[in-house]
Amino acid sequence: MAARVRKAVFPVAGLGTRFLPATKAMPKEMLTVVDRPLIQHVVDEAMEAGIEHFIFITGRNKGVIEDHFDRQFELEQVLAARGKTSELQSLNDDLPGPGSTSFTRQQEPLGLGHAVWCARELVGREPFALLLPDVLVQTQGKGCLAQMLDVYARHGGNIVAVDPVPDDQVKNYGVVSIDEGDGRVFPIDGMVEKPAPGTAPSNLTILGRYILQPEIFDLLSAQEQGAGGEIQITDAMLALLKVQPFYALKYEGRTFDCGSKVGFLTANVAYALARPDIAEAFKAEIKKLI
């Protein structure tokens, strides 16, 4: 039986230059989709999937993320005194338990692969999930990571959630090529990070959710620069593919690339429309605008 996935890694060291000036003094991961920071949405997905330990790869100016995942006693006292029990309850529900978060710093922005490598001591020699907080996956039933863990329980190995995108956007992503599969799960037989236009093996992109075996760290430690001069997780995965299976999951749900302004704004609309407390009023306002 495949070893259980208990830990999740969240790389949150990026500078967020695409959202300046909003991200000058505030981490991009704290931008809100409706009333929850991006990083909270992604931690929610990991909690729902049964993850027990949450590892954040931070950098300078990211301290507020650590504060966000701590208790706020003054606020709790005020809420309690005012009888706001449901707000108090949901603050507690959002919080990973005591001792179940770890924070380490990526000291230099050398790429996603390097950020993940910074988690090697905290993860240890066990499989782990990797979730990129730029990407939100909205689902009707189980979250994306929970769907991936179901596949992992059946197949073991390494799992990557994939999403088809229009051909002209493929160059912005990691891309996989797949073999014959069953239903939504396909063995991966190749990968490339940000392929030059016209060279991509498919239009199936790596969307930012991974289950990886710890041997990835051995490959990352020896890793050289790849696309964009950065140490790339996709290059290490391609090396690991020579000795371990990788599976692509065409998950059920919809992805929002919140690293782009349009993706982020669209996510806000989609998540607002899925919120029973504001959906009707919001829909009416949107109708007036368009």
Residue numbers of the site for ligand G1P (CB under 6 A)?
112, 132, 134-135, 173-174, 193, 205-208, 232-234, 257, 259
CA gap 127, 283 in Å, rounded? 42
Which of 158, 234 has the CB closer to ligand G1P? 234
Which of 152, 256 has the CB closer to ligand G1P? 256
Least distance from ligand G1P to the Cβ atom of residue 276, Å:
29
Least distance from ligand G1P to the Cβ atom of residue 166, Å:
14
Which of 11, 157 has the CB closer to ligand G1P? 11
CA proximity to 165, closest of 250, 264, 62 = 250
Residue nearest to ligand G1P (CB): 174
Least distance from ligand G1P to the Cβ atom of residue 237, Å:
9
Least distance from ligand G1P to the Cβ atom of residue 194, Å:
7
Which of 58, 232 has the CB closer to ligand G1P? 232
Which of 112, 123 has the CB closer to ligand G1P? 112
Contacts 24+ apart (CB under 8 A), 95-99: 95/69, 95/70, 95/71, 96/43, 96/47, 96/54, 96/69
Least distance from ligand G1P to the Cβ atom of residue 172, Å:
7
| DSSP H or E run through 58 | strand 53-58
Phi, psi for 123 (deg, rounded to 5)? -80, -45
CA dihedral over 231, 232, 235, 237, signed as positive or negative: positive
| DSSP H or E run through 103 | strand 101-105
